[in-house]
């Protein structure tokens, strides 16, 4: 009987030790995961500065013959992921050499400060019944008129409007903005194209984007927008910039204004020619000799 009690005590102690070891291992794993996430987050913040510098100093066109150190891939401004190689520095080590970049032209999103039928259609597309969608947009329009020019500052401010909930905003947040100037549908995200354009045209644009054959010129061919209208089709200074760590899905999103005051040689599509700002001039004067 005494031997049985001793064996039972030993078994209990062994079981407790196993539990302690298991808990310790779990704590170590959690601590390691926390450390990895922290290192990735710090590296991600460092990478944002690097990407900002590249966007400010690189040609935004498809060709950048003057910049041999260019690291940016050919840019798109409708939210398709692009892989940016990072320098071999300790501060970027946790990102394993690359970061995923997405640029979304803000003027190509639906502006909540200009509520229209397109916003009704978007709400319906995201699962809100037509009657309620009509009411929400009507309430938003009345709110903006009543405030006499006071604009919505962020999408979340729409919660102040009668009838709107946080869930409503979360449904559409990825394709709306509280900012934006002249609407520029050439760089609208794929999810917004069915609302802005007829279905066949929206599908054609999405297919061209997926194949890498899309450009503002192709948009002009499809929509018939030429001449002076084409100037507004080039992506503006204000971009919604999203950086993502592909391994973990960790992201940082910001709305940035890359206003370089004409000092950076960014290529813009003007009419049917590519022209470049003269970096030696302190204005937005076109340099006709640099086509």
Which of 181, 188, 273, 262 shows the shortest CA–CA distance to 227?
273
Distance CA(286)–CA(262), nearest Å, equals 10
Mean pLDDT of 153-182: 90
Residue 259, pLDDT score: 63
**Residue 264: is its pLDDT beyond 80?**
no
What's the whole-number average pLDDT of the chain? Answer: 78
Q: Which residues touch 57 (CB under 8 Å, ≥6 apart)?
A: 67, 264
Question: 255 forms bridges with which residues in the sheet?
Answer: 240
- In the chain, the domains with their CATH numbers are 2-106 (no CATH), 110-238 (1.10.40)
pLDDT confidence of residue 5: 72
Q: Stretch 108-127: mean pLDDT, rounded? A: 92
Specify the pTM. Answer: 0.74
Residue 218 has pLDDT above 70, yes or no: yes
For the chain, how big is the Rg over CA atoms in Å?
26
For the stretch 41-44, contacts whose Cβ atoms lie closer than 8 Å and that sit 24 or more positions apart, written own/partner, are 41/250, 42/91, 42/94, 43/91, 43/92, 43/93, 43/94, 43/95, 43/245, 44/95, 44/99, 44/243, 44/245, 44/250, 44/252
């Amino acid at each position: 009987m005494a031997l049985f009690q001793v064996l039972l005590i030993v078994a209990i102690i062994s079981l407790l030790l196993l539990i302690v070891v298991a808990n310790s291992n779990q704590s170590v794993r959690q601590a390691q995961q926390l450390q990895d996430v922290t290192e990735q987050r710090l590296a991600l913040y460092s990478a944002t500065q690097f990407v900002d510098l590249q966007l400010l100093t690189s040609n935004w066109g498809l060709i950048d013959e003057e910049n041999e150190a260019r690291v940016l891939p050919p840019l798109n401004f409708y939210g398709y992921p692009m892989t940016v190689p990072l320098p071999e520095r300790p501060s970027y080590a946790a990102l394993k050499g690359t970061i995923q970049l997405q640029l979304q032209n803000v003027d190509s999103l639906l502006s909540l400060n200009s509520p229209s039928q397109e916003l009704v259609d978007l709400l319906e597309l995201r699962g809100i019944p037509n009657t309620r969608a009509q009411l929400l947009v009507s309430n938003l329009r009345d709110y903006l008129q009543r405030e006499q020019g006071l604009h919505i500052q962020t999408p979340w401010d729409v919660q102040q409007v009668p009838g709107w909930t946080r869930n409503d905003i979360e449904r559409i947040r990825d394709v709306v903005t509280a900012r934006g100037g002249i609407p520029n549908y050439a760089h609208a995200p794929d999810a917004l194209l069915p609302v802005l354009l007829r279905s066949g045209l929206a599908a054609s644009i999405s297919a061209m984007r997926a194949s890498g054959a899309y450009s503002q010129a192709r948009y002009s061919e499809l929509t018939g927008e030429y001449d002076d209208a084409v100037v507004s089709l080039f992506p503006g200074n204000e971009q919604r910039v999203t950086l993502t760590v592909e391994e973990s899905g960790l992201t940082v999103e910001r709305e940035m204004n890359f206003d370089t005051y004409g000092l950076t040689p960014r290529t813009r599509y003007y009419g049917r020619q590519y022209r470049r700002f003269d970096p030696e001039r302190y204005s937005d004067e076109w340099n006709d000799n640099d086509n």
